[in-house]
Amino acid sequence: MERAMVTAATGAMSSVLTKLAELLLQKYKLAKGVRKDIEFLMSELSVMNALLYEMADIEKLDALNKVWRDRVRELAYDVEDCIDLSVARLHRVGGFFGTRQLARKLKKIRVSLHIAHEIQELKARVIEESDRQKRYKLDGLIGSSSDASRNKVDLRMCTLWEETKNLVGLNGPMDEVIRLLMPGDKSSRQVRTLSIVGCAGLGKTTLAKQVYEKVQGHFECKAFVSVSQNPHIKDILMKICSQVGATPSMADDELLLVNKLRERLQYKRYIAVVDDIWHSEPWKIIGQALVRTSPGSIIIVTTRLKDVAQSCCSSHGGCVYDMRPLDDNDSRRLFFKRIFDSEDKCPDELESASKDILEKCDGIPLAIISMSSFLAVDVPKSANHWNKVKESISSPFPGNNSVETMQSVLSLSYFNLPHHLRTCLLYLSAFPEDWLINKDHLIGRWIAEGFVNAEPGESLYEAGLRYFNDLINRSLIQPWDQERGVVLGCRVHNVILNFLVSKSVEENFFSLSGPSGLPTSLHSKVRRLSLQNSYQENVVSWIKSIKPYVRSVACFVKCKELFPLTEFEVVRVLDLQLCRALTNVHLANIEVLLQLRYLNISGTGVSELPAGIGQVQNLETLDIRRTQVKKLPSTIVRLEKLARLFVSSNVKFPAKGFSKMKGLEQLKRFSIDGQPLSFLKELGHLTNLRTLEAVCDGILDVNDEGRGWGIFTSSLQALCSHKLVDVNIYRATVDSPPIPMDSSFPALQSLRTFVISHISSLPIWMGLLVNLELLKLRTKRFTPEDLRVLGGLPALETLILYLADIHAGPFTIRGHEFQCLKSFRVGQLYQILFMPGAMPNLKRLEVGLAFTTNSYSDLGIQHLASLTRVDVDIHAWCHHRGAVEDLEAKTRSLLGAHPNRPTLIFNTDFLLEK
């Protein structure tokens, strides 16, 4: 049966209809009349479900319809909870008495008495709501939905967020900010402070980031931190310490951290960006930590508030830079780049509508990006459709500010999302400002909540990944962390987050603990709870009262009132990552949480999983990384629905039964060494495994197939004949011996992602990987012939090479090689040259060069036609300084004439001769 969906629009209604249908098909013998009552419920709720979907696409409902919608949606949750709890009680009773015959009789009695009574009560509530409003005639357009599936992130979207300066006219402001901070005469050696101030969505953070990346190579220490509206000063100071090398400790208080920073930065040239300050008070502490005796250092502050900007600069002779909206020309360039992939291409019939739409965006980059993404994905390119969109946006009026403009644009984008995407986007309201949201965690939570529905032949994770990428392509979330050329997470712009929080609270989708510590909603039945701030004593009793109804818990603060967890009777998601208060005792009796599907206890004080974990039969995701757990209980193998298991490398698996976990799709990040040999053998039986991350700690004996490494590689070969497509194999340390890639290692021809460190040389079967999209290697030996082999891989999009031999090369990339490559990172080389026509789709290049007397002054980077960003890291002796400066100047000149005007980050590390 198709997986039942839960949405923000209809609550659990679709899921309820599925479960009612299942009740009719169950082996339980229903009491007389109960079957007819269930059929009545299904009929009535189906009609209500259709009405809820229609209402969801009307932005503003009248008060009566809105109240009815909310009541029916809450009713759906109550019906599902009732069914789940009734079935759970039946399972418990059967298990307690232990015999099949007695359990069968008890089930018959319980169904006849308990479920019959519950169904009668639910029927009465449904009749009451049906009678409350007999007829609903709702006028309004149903939101359009796109049938275009997004299987990958559109790299243009990453470009919009990362390289916005190329599209929105930040070149001038960036040069002006650099001039103010780093005057050419160098006569002044004082610390310079500059505040960038402007309204929401103008690109303050983008500008600060571009300046930071352009000049950071000139400084000994660097840090970039976000403060946000409700800052935790200690966390911010610890982040600055970590970035500048000041070795913070969790035991340090704020004063000690300030002293450590002052000691570290004294007399060092540093750059620090303090982003998104809302109040002067945090700056009083952060400013004290950034010492003023470091000649030539610079500090950049961003804020929406002019008085805060002036306060940050006034005491240190700094200046304020006022950001302005984009002019008409830059607005057009940004708008058309996303829609037509060109800065000046627009059909004549769309000129008038586009001009009016841009006028309503008022030069605010975030509004323009949101609107252009919406038009590119959801709206046909015709004057009629664009004019309808134009009329949907509230017109600016005298005194209208950026917030009102953004609300109008975001509302339009939000209500035109398909219902499943709207729900997944709204779910992001659970995360605090500036939170880095891990992609796997987010998709796992979506799945656990029932928000994801897979297409035929697609796993739920793949469907969730499609949703994630679609939201990025629509510019509603920002891609973040592309360490291996793949988007690993996201952030939500605070303007968009504020919009989502207001919608979420309005619809009782998520209840949050606000800045005051009080919940944002005092609704008696909270379905999802996110604790983000310290709370007041009167909230403690509130948390206890809502526990029976909560389906999802996300905790970002220390909150002992969450315990005992067993009081969350219907919970699906427990995300307790970094919840320091969680210990072993709090997981006792976890087996009673029969609906639990997602459990994240990473970074907590837990040292042992209870045996009862094996009875949580619906569990789909379990994350115990960075805990003290050293061994998994033998009962873990009973979790046949577990699809995602994330562990630390020191965790030992059970000796027997692992092959029973047929549902496992992702296994990260276990150690091969020290595991029972039977576990490594049974690993090969997991026919649904798609992603495997393993760590090698010990010496690999390739000649003894009866030992761990031989058994592991045999299982790896078996897995590749099924669904395995992503393999990451790590060495514990850089100094460990290479991983053998001889005939004992299987040819993994089905792979899409292959990460392995480190190997002696490229295996001979590497050229057979026709589906490979991402390759990351650390190798001792790499030749030009090896590069030719990789250049012929037809699907390769990301290539990361770490070469142990700094004299590797010379390498010449020819015109017919790497046709699909979009991201290339390599180092350390002494020569590389790109020929005309080389890597035609490459957007990002990162190259490290060991500069020698034989190095040349032209890398051929200008021949890379699709470039958007180049990072060059040079290691050279001091006597080569002139040659290196010539290379940088020539490279900048060539890229300045490049049609894409790529960003160039040129860092040089000069070594002193002995």
Identify the pLDDT of residue 518: 56
Tokens (6 digits) for 899: 């049609």
12-31 average pLDDT score: 79
Q: Going by DSSP bridges, is the β-strand pair 903-911/528-531 parallel, antiparallel, or unpaired? A: unpaired
For 708-727, write each residue's pLDDT tens digit. Answer: 888 999 999 999 889 999 99
If DSSP codes are grouped into helix, strand and coil, which group holds residue 621? strand
Confidence tier at 159 by pLDDT (50, 70, 90): very low
Confidence tier at 595 by pLDDT (50, 70, 90): very high
Residue 189 backbone dihedrals phi, psi, to 5 degrees: -110, 15
Per residue, what are the HEC states of 536-567? CHHHHHHHHHHHHHCCEEEECCCCHHHCCHHH
Confidence tier at 85 by pLDDT (50, 70, 90): confident
Q: Nearest to residue 895, comparing CAs of 856, 855, 868, 857?
A: 868
pLDDT at 579 over 90: no
Identify the pLDDT of residue 659: 95
The number of beta carbons lying within 10 Å of the beta carbon of residue 800 is 19
Q: Provide the residue type at 698 as one letter.
A: G
Q: Provide the residue type at 756 as one letter.
A: I
For 893-912, write each residue's pLDDT tens digit. Answer: 888 888 887 878 888 887 76
Lowest mean pLDDT among 13-27, 442-456, 662-676: 13-27
Identify the pLDDT of residue 547: 92
464-478 average pLDDT score: 87
Confidence tier at 89 by pLDDT (50, 70, 90): low
Edge-first strand order for the sheet with 489-491 is 437-438, 489-491, 478-480
Confidence tier at 338 by pLDDT (50, 70, 90): confident
Confidence tier at 148 by pLDDT (50, 70, 90): very low
Identify the pLDDT of residue 313: 80
Identify the pLDDT of residue 627: 95
For 426-447, write each residue's pLDDT tens digit. Answer: 999 999 888 899 999 999 999 9
pLDDT at 122 over 60: yes
Confidence tier at 160 by pLDDT (50, 70, 90): very low
pLDDT at 284 over 90: no
Q: Tell me the β-bridge partners of 876.
A: 910
Confidence tier at 143 by pLDDT (50, 70, 90): very low
531-546 average pLDDT score: 75
CA-atom Rg of the chain in angstroms: 30
Answer whether 722's CB lies under 8 Å from 688's CB: yes
pLDDT at 401 over 60: no
pLDDT at 157 over 80: no
Answer whether 665's CB lies under 8 Å from 459's CB: yes
Answer whether 239's CB lies under 8 Å from 228's CB: no
Residues whose CB is less than 8 angstroms from the CB of residue 851 and which lie 6 or more positions away in sequence, other chains included: 830, 874, 875, 876, 877, 880, 883, 884, 887
Identify the pLDDT of residue 396: 40
Q: What angle do CA 371, 372, 377 make, to 5 degrees?
A: 100
Identify the pLDDT of residue 158: 47
Identify the pLDDT of residue 403: 54
Structure-model confidence comparison of residues 294 and 647, the more confident one: 647
Length of the chain: 914
716-744 average pLDDT score: 86
Look-up: residue for tokens 């600055």? 240
For 189-200, write each residue's pLDDT tens digit. Answer: 678 889 998 877
d(CA 621, CA 598): 5
Answer whether 160's CB lies under 8 Å from 369's CB: yes
Look-up: residue for tokens 């002779």? 317
d(CA 764, CA 757): 17
Q: Where are the beta strands (DSSP E) in 75-163?
A: none
145-154, 449-458, 509-518: which is most confident: 449-458
Identify the pLDDT of residue 188: 54
525-551 average pLDDT score: 82
Residues whose CB is less than 8 angstroms from the CB of residue 670 and which lie 6 or more positions away in sequence, other chains included: 647, 649, 651, 653, 693, 694, 695
Identify the pLDDT of residue 770: 94
Q: In the predicted model, what is the mean pLDDT of the chain?
A: 82
Look-up: residue for tokens 């990025």? 472
Judging by beta carbons within 10 Å of its beta carbon (0-12, 13-18, 19+), is residue 847 exposed, middle or buried? buried
Q: Provide the residue type at 321 as one letter.
A: Y
Structure-model confidence comparison of residues 524 and 648, the more confident one: 648
Answer whether 790's CB lies under 8 Å from 810's CB: no
Judging by beta carbons within 10 Å of its beta carbon (0-12, 13-18, 19+), is residue 814 exposed, middle or buried? middle
366-385 average pLDDT score: 82
Q: Packing angle between helix 365-378 and helix 328-340, nearest 10 degrees?
A: 30
Structure-model confidence comparison of residues 842 and 280, the more confident one: 842
Identify the pLDDT of residue 30: 63
Identify the pLDDT of residue 533: 72
Q: Tell me the β-bridge partners of 695.
A: 671, 730
Confidence tier at 390 by pLDDT (50, 70, 90): confident
For 802-832, write each residue's pLDDT tens digit. Answer: 887 666 667 899 988 999 999 999 977 778 8
Identify the pLDDT of residue 856: 61
Identify the pLDDT of residue 99: 45
Tokens (6 digits) for 69: 């919608």
Look-up: residue for tokens 């031999």? 805
Intra-chain end-to-end CA distance of the chain, in Å: 73
Structure-model confidence comparison of residues 22 and 680, the more confident one: 680
Answer whether 494's CB lies under 8 Å from 501's CB: no
Q: Is the CA virtual torsion 250, 251, 256, 260 positive or negative? A: negative
36-45, 403-412, 696-705: which is most confident: 36-45
d(CA 422, CA 226): 27
| CA dihedral of residues 115, 121, 123, 125 (deg, nearest 10) | -150
Structure-model confidence comparison of residues 392 and 879, the more confident one: 879
pLDDT at 515 over 60: no
Q: Going by DSSP bridges, is the β-strand pair 798-803/811-813 parallel, antiparallel, or unpaired? A: unpaired
Q: Nearest to residue 755, comparing CAs of 733, 786, 731, 719?
A: 731
Answer whether 680's CB lies under 8 Å from 713's CB: no
d(CA 727, CA 107): 46
826-844 average pLDDT score: 88
For 45-68, write each residue's pLDDT tens digit. Answer: 998 888 888 888 887 788 888 888
Residues whose CB is less than 8 angstroms from the CB of residue 399 and which lie 6 or more positions away in sequence, other chains included: none
Buried b (16+ CB within 10 A) or exposed e, 710-748: bbbbbbbebbbeeebbbbbbbbeeeebebbbbeeebbeb
d(CA 337, CA 375): 12
Q: Is the CA virtual torsion 66, 72, 75, 80 positive or negative? A: negative
d(CA 581, CA 558): 6
Identify the pLDDT of residue 311: 82
Structure-model confidence comparison of residues 646 and 218, the more confident one: 646
The runs of H, that is alpha helices, within 699-798 are 708-720, 784-791
Residues whose CB is less than 8 angstroms from the CB of residue 543 and which lie 6 or more positions away in sequence, other chains included: 529, 559, 561, 562
Answer whether 860's CB lies under 8 Å from 835's CB: yes
For 299-336, write each residue's pLDDT tens digit. Answer: 999 988 877 888 888 655 578 888 888 888 888 888 88
Structure-model confidence comparison of residues 30 and 465, the more confident one: 465
Q: Where are the beta strands (DSSP E) in 159-284?
A: 192-197, 221-228, 270-277
Answer whether 777's CB lies under 8 Å from 752's CB: no
Q: Nearest to residue 153, comparing CAs of 475, 473, 373, 462?
A: 473
d(CA 12, CA 76): 5
